[in-house]
Amino acid sequence: MSAAGRHIVYIQFPYLAAARVRRRDGDSGQPVLITRQVGGVDMVVAGCARAAAFGLAAGMRLADARALCPRLVTDDFDAASDHADLWRLALWARRYSPLTAPGDTGIWLDIAGAEHLFGGTRALVADCLCRLYRSGLRAVAATAPTCGAAWALAHYGTGSQRFMTAPKSSGDSAGACVVRRAHLRQHLAPLPLMALRLAPGVAAKMHDTGLRAIGDIIGLPRAPLAARFGTDLLTRLDQALGDCDESFSPISPPTPLYVRRQFVEPIAAPEDVRRMVHILTDDIAALLQQAGLAARRIRLGWQLVDGLVFAKDVHLSRPGRDRALLHRLMAGLVTVIKPEFGIECGWMEALECSPLAPLDDDLPVLDGPNSKAACDAYAGLVDRLVARLGYGAVVQLAPRESWQPETAQSCVLPGPAHYENRSSDWSGWLAATASRPAAPRPIRLLAYPQQIEVTALLPDHPPARFVWYRKQHKILYATGPERIAPAWWQAPPGSLTRDYFCLYDQEGAGFWVYREGLPERDEMPRWYLHGFLA
């Protein structure tokens, strides 16, 4: 396509990041600011329409912004998310033209040859802005024959040079003009130099010498300009005016990792269903192999003859694409499928894909519980259990650093993060650390402590005997007390401090009991059994 044929639209989103924060956290009714630390100072880099109404603008210090408007919602600047958002918007904008791309603050569209499908350029842009508005995004757009000019007008244009967001796809924006090549200079001349996408320092330097608008430099000799402000300036000027070519590389949509089988005749026999799953699994495994990806989730879908659609997900505890593994997992699904009057078609989709985890190939082979073989076997077991019992039904215990026995372990969903330190921490659970002597812990902790009858000397002696389930235990050996106070910042009021003792009775059985309530604080002591010692 020649440069002359271009018809560029640039759509700029001034409040993109703030809109994302609102989508994520809900609208609190307060201005949203996006900030970034620059040399230890929080600087505002973007905001929302409300913030703009308060006079909060990019380039301010956050402290100043708070002084102006004490109630603010802030979030950290996140270039990756911004870019991801723009990428998705560019993808969406392919409804208007096959040539779209994310830019730095918005998206590019080249709509040459596509305008008439929407009733002309104005109607196209108006339709686009209206749809964006309905999804909660404010946008400003401009059209021009060159990329540079479209960007310049979208950011710095005035009045009818730009299309503003309108709630209706009516002719509101119709007043905005579609800049023609012949009028480019005339339109660009009054815009500030920043409109040329210059590095900030360059524009400031030119500002000093009185060169402030694009029009100021259009007629100037080029060599002195280049010598002072760099050749970039002239390139940008030429690009904007169309004297040199500039294009963006349009994105192509990602192809889903998706396989599908349509049957000539509906299938219903269990054997056929099994075969369908088998073929689809083969296909998806081959596809993953080809793409060099591994999936954490595989979705199996099927459609019945009456048009009903069903889907079922299988979760992997870590990204995988191994054919045998997938077969094993998917085989379990066959029983779930109820063909009724027959299945019209089936498909399989790989989700949450990532490049293949290094664990699969790169981990050095070790012996012991952390070796690759052990990990694989464990992962295989977990995955099969999950496939059988359902996602969320299988959990693992993980140690937590906490003095309170009840919270010293937690249930977690099995996942890849858990593998790397699955086994080593458990020995730490009982081991001594610098801050923690090896205080004994029971091998079995009762879910609920059970109250017991105790004979013990006050104030802090271990019991001499206690009764549990009507059986009397005479204590021959005891250690303690280990005093554990409630976690003061989260325990409910009224939580009491406990003194734990290790007791061994005449039969050599070990008990972990505690007394709740301190006699020295005039609290009524009560005794509980909390676990069994080895």
Partner 1 sequence: MAGNGMAGNGASDSAGPALLGCYSNFTFLTGASHPAEMVAAAAQAGWRAIGIADVNSLAGMVRAHMAARDHAIRLLVGVRLRPADGPDVIVHPCDRDGYEGLSALLSAANMRGTKAAPILHLADLARLPARTALLVMPPLHPDAAYQAHLQMITQFAKGQVFAGLCLYRDGADHLRCDAVVQIATATGVPVAAAADALYHHPSRRPLADVLACIRAKKQLDDAGYLLSRNAERHVIDHAEAVRRWQPWPAALAGADQLAGLCQFSMDDLCYDYPHAITSHGRNAMQELEFQTWRGAQNRYPDKIPDKVIAYLEHELRLIDKLHIAPYFLTVFDIVRFARGRGILCQGRGSAANSAVCYCLNITAVDPERAQPLFERFVSEARGEPPDIDVDFEHERREEVIQYIYDKYGRDHAGLAATVITYRRRSALREVASVFGLSRDVQAALAGEVWGREGSGLTAAALDAAGLDPDDRRLRLVLRLVDDISRFPRHLSQHVGGFVITRGRLDHLCPISPAAMPGRTVIEWDKDDLDALGLLKIDVLALGMLSCIRRAFDLLQGHYGRRLTLAAVPPEDAATYDMLCQGRSVGVFQVESRAQMAMLPRLQPRCFHDLVVQVAIVRPGPIQGDMVHPYLRRRAGLEKVDYPSADLRAVLERTLGVPLFQEQAMQIAIVGAGFSGAEADRLRRAMATFKKSGEISRFHDKMVKGMIARGYDAAFAERCFRQIEGFGTYGFPESHAASFALLVYVSAWIKCHYPDVFVCALLNAQPMGFYAPSQLIAEAKKSGVNILPVDVNHSDWDHRLEPDPLHATGRHSLRLGLRLVKGLRRHEGERIAASRAAMAADSRYQATSDSPRSAGKVAFTSLAAIIRLADISKAALQAIADADGFSSLGMTRRQALWAVRGLDQDRPLPLFAHAGRRHDSLAGDEPDVALPVASAGENVAEDYRSLGLSLKAHPLDLLAKPLAVAGWQRCGLVHQAPDGKRMRIAGLVTMRQRPGTASGTVFLTLEDGAATVNVIVWPRLTDSYRAPLLRAQIMGLVGRVQRQQAVTHVIAESLFNLNGFLRHLDAHAGTPAAVRMRSRDFR
Question: Could you list the residues that contact partner 1 (CB under 8 A)?
Answer: 54-55, 59, 64, 66-74, 192, 194, 200, 203-205, 207-213, 216, 220-221, 223-224, 227-229, 400-403, 432-440, 479-485, 487-489, 497, 499-500, 502, 520
Task: Return the number of the residue (26 or 224) whose C-beta is nearest partner 1.
Answer: 224
Provide the minimum distance between the beta carbon of 228 and partner 1 in the complex, in angstroms, as a whole number. Answer: 4
Angstrom distance (rounded) from CA 138 to CA 451: 64
Angstrom distance (rounded) from CA 438 to CA 477: 18
Radius of gyration for the chain, computed over Cα atoms and rounded to the nearest angstrom: 34
Angstrom distance (rounded) from CA 389 to CA 526: 41
Provide the minimum distance between the beta carbon of 331 and partner 1 in the complex, in angstroms, as a whole number. Answer: 42
Provide the minimum distance between the beta carbon of 409 and partner 1 in the complex, in angstroms, as a whole number. Answer: 13
Do 106 and 96 form a contact (C-beta atoms < 8 A)? no
Q: For helices 231-241 and 147-156, what crossing angle results, to 10°?
A: 90
Task: Return the number of the residue (215 or 266) whose C-beta is nearest partner 1.
Answer: 215
Provide the minimum distance between the beta carbon of 176 and partner 1 in the complex, in angstroms, as a whole number. Answer: 23
Task: Return the number of the residue (368 or 437) whose C-beta is nearest partner 1.
Answer: 437
Q: For helices 222-229 and 231-241, what crossing angle results, to 10°?
A: 120
Task: Return the number of the residue (286 or 432) whose C-beta is nearest partner 1.
Answer: 432
Task: Return the number of the residue (46 or 73) whose C-beta is nearest partner 1.
Answer: 73
Bridge partners of residue 35, in order along the sequence: 44, 76
Provide the minimum distance between the beta carbon of 208 and partner 1 in the complex, in angstroms, as a whole number. Answer: 5
Tokens of 82: 């911004």
Task: Return the number of the residue (28 or 354) whose C-beta is nearest partner 1.
Answer: 28
| Maximal C-alpha separation, the chain | 105
Provide the minimum distance between the beta carbon of 132 and partner 1 in the complex, in angstroms, as a whole number. Answer: 27
Token look-up 């090549």 returns 181
Q: Is the bond preceding residue 414 a cis peptide, omega within 30 degrees?
A: no
Angstrom distance (rounded) from CA 284 to CA 325: 12
Angstrom distance (rounded) from CA 253 to CA 147: 22
CA distances (Å), 501 to each of 404, 436, 468, 498, in order? 14, 17, 16, 10
Task: Return the number of the residue (209 or 424) whose C-beta is nearest partner 1.
Answer: 209
Tokens of 515: 């007394």
Provide the minimum distance between the beta carbon of 433 and partner 1 in the complex, in angstroms, as a whole number. Answer: 6
Bridge partners of residue 465, in order along the sequence: 455, 474
Provide the minimum distance between the beta carbon of 337 and partner 1 in the complex, in angstroms, as a whole number. Answer: 44
Angstrom distance (rounded) from CA 62 to CA 43: 5
Task: Return the number of the residue (31 or 145) whose C-beta is nearest partner 1.
Answer: 31
Task: Return the number of the residue (320 or 480) whose C-beta is nearest partner 1.
Answer: 480
DSSP class of residue 385 equals: H
Provide the minimum distance between the beta carbon of 412 and partner 1 in the complex, in angstroms, as a whole number. Answer: 16
DSSP class of residue 491 equals: S
